Amino acid sequence: MPVHPVDEKLPALKMATTGLQHVAAMYAGVVAPPLIVGAAIGLSGTDLTFLTGACLFTAGLATFLQTLGIWNIGARLPFVNGVTFAGVAPMTAIVASADDKSDALPVIFGAVIVAGLLGFLAAPFFSKAIRFFPPVVTGTVITLIGVSLLPVAFGWAQGPDPAARDYGSTTNLGLAAATLLIVLLLRRFTRGFVKQVAVLLGLVAGTLLAIPFGATDFGPVTDAAVLGFPTPFHFGAPQFQLAAIVSLCVVMVVSMTESTADMLALGEIVERPADERTIAAGLRADTLGSALSPLFNGFMCSAFAQNIGLVAMTRIRSRYVVATGGAFLVLMGLCPVAASLIAVVPRPVLGGAGIVLFGSVAASGIQTLVRAGLDKDNNVLIVAVSLAVGIIPITAPEFYHAFPETAKIVLDSGISTGCVAAVLLNLVFNHLGTGRDADEVTSPMDPEVAGLGGSGAAAAH
């Protein structure tokens, strides 16, 4: 019986290089939350490095849970886990409200433990939402994942610090464009293994290209220690405060919603559709990884959508490749020097590669929508409105400024709001009554369909 590509074990060298490619794609997303929260607390450089290494270490452990799995835990898909960015705003709010900043991390860790355990118990019930995710919904959500991530790549392309004088400079944008061009050329004119690791080779080439421009900083390598272990409860025993717990429980719900959408997207891409059992197991891995993370001074873990783009582009679907990436993350947590090697890659170079990765996710969503039955008027409306709702946080970041901070945790996630909108609209238009289910539309802008009449109808066909 042939082995499914998801369960395929590749040669060691290929496993290592493609796994490292996944680490390179997610690294900036993993280290950003601890850097932001640590800076808000005012941690020393040593403690900030320790916190960042701890988050890398726990991301690796959570990735093991997700890809390899134990018992009914883990989706067993090429699914990368890391620190969720959705928790940054409430965690910085916890820091701001703390009378003693040294208590902030223990309070955060206590809230993450409770939210993780409650999420673990809720996972089998949450997974039953699978029946509300037909292709018209999953295609919309996958497209939104890609579109929502693209601004991240554009930000990286401009530079690491928006306050810096060279932010958005021609040098930074040129390095991003050169990296993008290298990746595209490798994908177009090479074959086999080289083609599959085009992103990693592009990152290496872009980093070397950046050296003459002074954009490559080797300081992290020279300053990093060789060995280090995330000592349990380094910042103090967890503290349990109700307000913080409620806040991060909301984040957990958002995280589980996004993870469900990500699993459905990845299942489509690797041609192993995620059913209710797979989603329940995947959510257990997310939530258990989150609950265990504070033990080693890490934050809440969730799926990383950017790595879905890497799977879509390379077509390497082996979960063991991603598990190898998890091993690299653990190594980086234990060996700060190893972690610093990825930190050497200039942000503009990462941005150029990110355009390919995140754009691939959006393209996968469009492919799913093509199969979703867009000849139906109802489905066109579902996609149109859901995409519009989902891109509000991207195109109008201050749109929800008047809402409470707790509500903004959900509303500021275009993936979550677009997903909820798609599910609700699908229920209304395709499940409640017969309505206009049979109405077909060849083009949503067809004048006859829109009721505008006129001779333009013929030209539209």
Q: Which residues pair with 301 in a beta bridge?
A: 83
Q: Please report the pLDDT score of residue 13 as a whole number.
A: 87
Q: Is 71 left (phi over 0), alpha (psi -120 to 50) or beta?
A: left
Mean pLDDT of 414-427: 84
Residue 263 vs residue 115, higher pLDDT: 115
Give the span between the Cα atoms of 96 and 40, in whole angstroms.
Answer: 8
Q: Are 307 and 364 in contact (CB under 8 A)?
A: no
Mean pLDDT of 320-335: 87
Residue 450 vs residue 412, higher pLDDT: 412
Under the banding of pLDDT at 50, 70 and 90, the label for residue 457 is very low
Residue linked to tokens 């994908």? 187
Which tokens go with 403? Answer: 């809402």
Of the ranges 4-18, 24-38, 145-159, which one carries the lowest mean pLDDT score? 24-38
Q: Are 300 and 113 in contact (CB under 8 A)?
A: no
Q: Please report the pLDDT score of residue 147 as a whole number.
A: 83
Q: Please report the pLDDT score of residue 184 as a whole number.
A: 92
Degrees, nearest 5: CA angle 458-459-461 = 75
Q: Please report the pLDDT score of residue 433 as a whole number.
A: 63
Q: Please report the pLDDT score of residue 454 as a whole number.
A: 44
- What residues contact residue 232 under an 8 Å CB cut-off, 6+ apart? 295, 296, 297
Q: Please report the pLDDT score of residue 178 as a whole number.
A: 94
Under the banding of pLDDT at 50, 70 and 90, the label for residue 165 is confident
CB neighbourhood size of 128 (10 A): 11
Of the ranges 69-83, 177-191, 255-269, 423-437, which one carries the lowest mean pLDDT score? 423-437
Mean pLDDT of 136-153: 80
Q: Is the pLDDT of residue 442 over 50?
A: no
On the 0-12 / 13-18 / 19+ scale of CB atoms within 10 A, 266 is buried
Mean pLDDT of 265-286: 86
Mean pLDDT of 122-147: 80
Of the ranges 123-127, 313-317, 432-436, which one carries the lowest mean pLDDT score? 432-436
Which among 120, 136, 144 is positioned nearest to 281, based on CA atoms? Answer: 120
Q: Please report the pLDDT score of residue 447 as a whole number.
A: 44
Q: Please report the pLDDT score of residue 24 as a whole number.
A: 75
Mean pLDDT of 214-234: 75
Q: Please report the pLDDT score of residue 176 as a whole number.
A: 93
Of the ranges 120-124, 160-164, 394-398, which one carries the lowest mean pLDDT score? 160-164
Which tokens go with 329? Answer: 């993350």
Q: Please report the pLDDT score of residue 284 as a whole number.
A: 92
Structure letter (DSSP) for residue 440: B
Which among 65, 94, 105, 95 is positioned nearest to 82, based on CA atoms? Answer: 65
Mean pLDDT of 164-190: 90
Give the span between the Cα atoms of 41 and 285, in whole angstroms.
Answer: 29
Q: Are 280 and 72 in contact (CB under 8 A)?
A: yes
Q: Please report the pLDDT score of residue 383 as a whole number.
A: 92
Q: Is the pLDDT of residue 232 over 50?
A: yes
Which tokens go with 102? Answer: 């040294």
Mean pLDDT across the chain, nearest whole number?
80
Mean pLDDT of 121-144: 80
CA dihedral 336, 337, 339, 345 (to 10 degrees): 140
Q: Is the pLDDT of residue 96 over 60?
A: yes
Mean pLDDT of 339-343: 63
Mean pLDDT of 362-389: 85
Q: Please report the pLDDT score of residue 438 as a whole number.
A: 47
Q: Are 60 and 329 in contact (CB under 8 A)?
A: yes
Q: Please report the pLDDT score of residue 5 as a whole number.
A: 80
Q: Please report the pLDDT score of residue 192 as a whole number.
A: 65
Degrees, nearest 5: CA angle 259-263-265 = 115
The share of the chain scoring above pLDDT 70, in percent, equals 86
- Residue pLDDT, tens place only, 254-263: 778 778 878 8
Q: Is the pLDDT of residue 443 over 70?
A: no
Give the span between the Cα atoms of 159 and 168, in whole angstroms.
Answer: 6
How many angstroms separate the Cα of 170 from the Cα of each of 162, 165, 167, 178, 383?
15, 12, 9, 12, 37
- The pTM for the full model equals 0.65
Q: Please report the pLDDT score of residue 357 as a whole number.
A: 74
Under the banding of pLDDT at 50, 70 and 90, the label for residue 343 is low
Q: Is the pLDDT of residue 449 over 50?
A: no
Q: Please report the pLDDT score of residue 120 as a whole number.
A: 93
Q: Please report the pLDDT score of residue 113 as a whole number.
A: 94
Mean pLDDT of 125-133: 76
